């Protein structure tokens, strides 16, 4: 697989990354079998993926441990990104109770993540959500200290506004920003992507397949397991899914002409936006992994992109992407 550099940094990763969250959380149905998930992560490496995404809050803790065990044989060959920023339940139960990016907390999280990931240094450490109680300059300074100590290699932000990114970047260069971005969530285009291009920062879209909706495998009749996060997201109400099917129909029509799938077109569209964009789709299935990887070879011409833009502009996406509580944590 071809490689991409995240902005002007020296961090080079595979054109497509891998989001591991769903492997150990209930966000998208039951967790996968541990041995099968380890085998899948290693299959991803065998197929050229070198960029893996996890976080302390996923599980919590169990996702980092899974990724650490699976990728230990490839130490030095892969790039692992993880995150700090949520205040977790004291008993280790799923979810969080707030935000916490105090410098002393950042250090505690980083030290623990190093052990779970089985690495000597964290390749890319993101602030998971901006903490309004802690100046971003203090956050950037704390990560800068960890970088100087050799415990972290690169600093990243997630769901941060252009202003916050600039402030952080002035203290410690930001290598990458991770935010939701896809054909059905394009707000980063307004101010974040222009700022990243100006500053030379890479962009890592999460949920590049719209939490599965853009694959074409979900309809208004699809039922999600009780703990599935999509049961609480307005955009996944049956009514919204029915209305938003028009976007999937567009992807399916283009896919037929390219002998590909809607998911591959959605990913190829992202890859065609900027050379410093690296999406991180996640999956628990080998066939979906191979389908996602196939997107890298799908070529969208300037005419294709213009056609997609024209058609997509006529489709009004229904429903909020998150609940109000979760959306309030994002600055994008």
**For the chain, which residues make up each domain, given as ranges?**
3-211+263-298
Nearest-angstrom CA–CA distance, 174 and 124:
10
Nearest-angstrom CA–CA distance, 152 and 65:
18
pLDDT at residue 31, as a whole number: 86
**Catalytic residue positions?**
58
Average pLDDT for runs of 10 along the chain of length 332: 96 98 85 95 98 97 98 98 96 93 98 98 98 98 98 98 98 98 97 98 98 96 91 96 96 96 98 98 97 98 96 96 93 90
Are residues 50 and 77 in contact, defined by beta-carbon separation less than 8 angstroms?
A: yes
pLDDT at residue 25, as a whole number: 76
Nearest-angstrom CA–CA distance, 53 and 51:
7
In a 10 Å sphere around its CB, with 0-12 CB exposed, 13-18 middle and 19+ buried, how is residue 299 labelled?
A: exposed
Predicted model pTM: 0.97
- Give the list of residues 6+ apart from residue 98 with CB closer than 8 angstroms, or none: 86, 87
Q: pLDDT tens across 302-314, in order?
A: 999 999 999 999 9
pLDDT at residue 172, as a whole number: 98
Tokens of 127: 């602030």
pLDDT at residue 332, as a whole number: 85
Rounded (10°) angle between helices 238-258 and 302-312: 160
Tokens of 193: 């992507």
pLDDT at residue 227, as a whole number: 86
Phi, psi of 113, deg, nearest 5: -65, -40
Nearest-angstrom CA–CA distance, 177 and 240:
29
Q: Is-cis flag, bond preceding 281, omega within 30?
A: no
Question: What fold does the segment set 3-211+263-298 form as a domain?
Answer: TIM Barrel (3.20.20)
Q: pLDDT tens across 274-305, in order?
A: 999 999 999 999 999 999 999 999 999 999 99
């Amino acid at each position: 697989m071809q490689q991409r550099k995240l902005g002007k940094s020296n961090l080079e990763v595979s054109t497509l990354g891998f989001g591991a969250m769903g492997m150990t959380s209930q966000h998208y149905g039951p967790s996968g079998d541990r041995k099968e998930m380890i085998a899948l992560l290693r299959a991803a490496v065998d197929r050229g993926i070198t960029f893996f995404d996890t976080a302390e809050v996923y599980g919590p803790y169990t996702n980092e441990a899974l990724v650490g065990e699976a990728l230990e044989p490839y130490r030095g060959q892969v790039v692992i990104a993880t995150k700090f920023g949520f205040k977790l339940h004291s008993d280790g139960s799923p979810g969080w109770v707030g935000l916490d990016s105090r410098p002393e907390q950042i250090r505690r999280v980083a030290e623990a993540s190093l052990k779970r990931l089985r690495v000597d240094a964290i390749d890319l450490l993101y602030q998971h959500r901006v903490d309004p109680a802690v100046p971003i300059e203090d956050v950037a300074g704390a990560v800068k200290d960890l970088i100087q100590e050799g415990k972290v290699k690169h600093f990243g932000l997630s769901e941060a506004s252009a202003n916050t990114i600039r402030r952080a970047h002035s203290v410690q260069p930001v290598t990458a920003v991770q935010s939701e971005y896809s054909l059905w969530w394009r707000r980063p285009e307004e101010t974040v992507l222009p700022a990243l291009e100006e500053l030379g920062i890479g962009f890592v879209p999460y949920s590049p397949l719209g939490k599965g909706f853009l694959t074409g495998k979900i309809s208004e009749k699809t039922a999600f397991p009780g703990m599935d996060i999509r049961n609480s997201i307005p955009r996944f109400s049956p009514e919204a899914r029915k209305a938003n099917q028009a976007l999937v129909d567009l992807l399916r029509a283009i896919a037929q002409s390219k002998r590909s799938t809607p998911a591959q077109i959605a990913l190829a569209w992202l890859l065609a936006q900027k050379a410093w964009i690296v999406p991180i789709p996640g999956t628990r299935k080998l066939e979906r992994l191979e389908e996602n990887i196939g997107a890298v070879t799908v070529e969208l011409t300037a005419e294709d992109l213009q056609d997609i833009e024209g058609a997509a502009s006529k489709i009004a996406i229904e429903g909020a992407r998150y609940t109000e509580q979760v959306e309030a944590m994002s600055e994008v």
